[in-house]
Amino acid sequence: MSFVPIQEILAGKCEGKQISVRGWIFRKRESKKTIFLLVRDATGTIQSIVKEGTPAWREAQKITIESSVTLDGVVRKDERAPGGYEIPTQQMSIIGLAETFPITKDQSPEFLRNVRHLWLRSRKMNLIMRIRSEVLGQIHCFFRKNGFIEISPPMFITSACEGGSTLFSTKYFNNDLFMTQSAQLYSEVLIYSLEKVYTCAPSFRAEKSRTIRHLCEYWHVEPEWAFADMDDVMSVEEDLVSYVCQTIVNQCSQELEELGVNTERLLEVQKPFPRITYREAIERLQKRGFDIKWGEDMGYDEEKVLAEEFKEPFFVFDYPREIKAFYCKTYKDQPEIAMSVDMLVPKVGELTTGGAREDDKDKLIKRIQDSGLRVDDYNWYIDLRRYGTVPHVGFGLGVERLIMWMLNLDNIMDAIPFPRTPRRFFP
Ligand code: 4AD
Ligand code: MG
């Protein structure tokens, strides 16, 4: 027997036809002689009506919320039915009769995260997961179309990329290793062979701060390419983010509408994005009453206020060297300034960090030492500057932050199926 996806029925392709569907019971309402069931599959929900006296009646009486089921009948158009169609049901068989389902109406986000393994069946999570899949797909499309080769970085690593405070350590047989924070140093290796590379892989951060935008495990998109400068970084970032916004509006219009996402806002994401220097950002913040001086890092509060001024993605570039990582290249005539750039977006703040990498061996060694790191740990990385060094750039974008911003989610945890935070690591 073949089963029809519910979406096809809702699209009007099955009116008057005898069909079978399979799925799970989403709602059940009974009157004396009729049982109304809402049945969902991966694609949508449809109303099934079971009348007393039909072969389906006994099964319908027994059936519970979230039971799995197959049913058949002739599709009928009815304005009153949710979605405009319904199935007067003749036959029904229960595949798995569900126990009392713990999720009922109006439960707290905290409770829903405790039963995440069940909550992922909800329409909201179904829609977000569909869009997430499309976002990932379009990111891959973008880089492949633009000549970047996908590479696969290691997850177990020996030395930090983004500073020791957020490193997870792990036992690796008799060695103490770490979980990767960024593929960057490994991507830099591969540009000497492939020139333009990218990764889309998990990164791990032991972030103790509990915020709406931090995860301990997130998906990280990181391109890296040779013979390029700061302007190239910003230009590729603009292209990527606007490409994803435009294509998602195209590919996921129905999902976005159901989630109540304002698609105009996404369509307006077009290059060029405004660009301001770190110095200008600090001056703007001081005017807004922030007690922040040149040389200090911006936190979420600062980023949020700046982002509200722009109402769209924008860049902050040329940061003080001291607040950026050891690998950042500095200007010849301004060694205290790093060629580093962040993209900020409303609500989320920082969406990307990127820039030019120090390509001079001696300067790199000095930066490693000044950062309190052991040169020996980075010898393989320094080798890249010993053998045919080239100017090169790259950036990192957090996939869940991108989704959070695009869908206007209240918490980054809803942008990933199984969020990991300091307190949450199950299911
Ligand atoms: O700013 P970050 O730490 O930069 C790097 O890791 C560079 N090595 C990237 C590169 O140049 N290849 O991280 C990059 C992005 C951030 O802008 C943010 O979007 C995301 O990764 N990110 C997180 N997302 C969720 N939870 C966290 N704890 C995150 N930490 C960083
Ligand atoms: Mg950053």
- Residues of the chain with pLDDT > 70: what percent? 100
Contacts of 246 (CB under 8 A, 6+ apart): 266, 267, 269
- pLDDT tens, residue by residue, 299-333: 999 999 999 999 999 999 999 999 999 999 999 99
Which ligand has its closest atom nearest to the C-alpha of 401?
1
Q: Is 215 in the pocket of ligand 1 (CB under 6 A)?
A: yes
Q: Is 352 in the pocket of ligand 1 (CB under 6 A)?
A: yes
Q: Is 351 in the pocket of ligand 1 (CB under 6 A)?
A: yes
Domain range annotation of the chain: 6-100, 116-415
CA of 284 to the centre of ligand 1 (A): 24
* pTM of the complete model: 0.96
CA distances from 364 to 156, 174, 325, 370 (A): 24, 31, 11, 10
Superfamily (CATH) of domain 116-415: Bira Bifunctional Protein; Domain 2 (3.30.930.10)
> Residue 35's pLDDT is what?
98
Q: How many CB atoms lie within 10 A of CB 241?
A: 25
> Residue 126's pLDDT is what?
96
Mean pLDDT of 192-201: 98
401, 402, 409, 416: which to mutate for ligand 1, most atoms within 8 A of CB?
A: 401
Is there a contact between 326 and 371 (Cβ–Cβ < 8 Å)? yes
Is there a contact between 405 and 266 (Cβ–Cβ < 8 Å)? no
Mean pLDDT of 272-297: 97
- The overall average pLDDT reported for the chain is 96
> Residue 382's pLDDT is what?
98
> Residue 1's pLDDT is what?
65
Nearest CA to ligand 1 atom 29: 214
CA of 339 to the centre of ligand 2 (A): 13
Mean pLDDT of 234-257: 98
Is there a contact between 101 and 65 (Cβ–Cβ < 8 Å)? yes
6-100 maps to which CATH number? 2.40.50.140
> Residue 163's pLDDT is what?
86
- pLDDT tens, residue by residue, 78-136: 999 999 999 999 999 999 999 999 998 889 999 999 999 999 999 999 999 999 999 99
